[in-house]
Amino acid sequence: MKRIIFALVGLSALAGIVVATAPVSGQSDGEAAPIYGIKLPQGYRDWHLISVKRLTGAGGKLQQLRAQLGNDIAIKAFREGKLPFPDGAIIAALHWNEVSSDADNKVLCGLT
């Protein structure tokens, strides 16, 4: 009986080690996952913020937050006023649409 318990503990420990060392994203090659058919360059989350803008449409139908990011090459060229931007410069735009929900509205109305 002790051998069976020892074997089960050993297998559990081995399974835990395998799970802990597996890549979290499932991508061991380090490339970014494609989003909407566009493959994002690795490290884009560390790019510098260029600008932020909030858009509102007619009648409040469109409410969107937009941010523009640039990699180090783009930021350097932008600061130095180089046009056209050199090879390797990348500027990305991130857009978030605001979607109102009743639960959010109840919480936010209680804050005023």
Q: How many whole angstroms separate alpha carbon 24 and alpha carbon 27?
A: 8
Q: Is residue 53 part of a domain?
A: yes
- Per residue in 17-76, pLDDT (tens digit) is 433 433 433 333 455 555 667 777 778 889 999 999 998 887 767 789 999 999 999 999
If one counts the domains in the chain, the total is 1
Q: Does a structural domain hold residue 25? A: no
Q: Which domain, by its residues, includes 86?
A: 48-99
Whether residue 19 lies inside any domain: the answer is no
* Domain-located, residue 64: yes
Interatomic CA distance for residues 52 and 64, integer angstroms: 11
Give a yes or no: residue 68 inside a domain.
Answer: yes
Whether residue 34 lies inside any domain: the answer is no
Q: Is residue 112 part of a domain?
A: no
- Domain assignment present for residue 73? The answer is yes
pLDDT higher than 80, residue 10: no
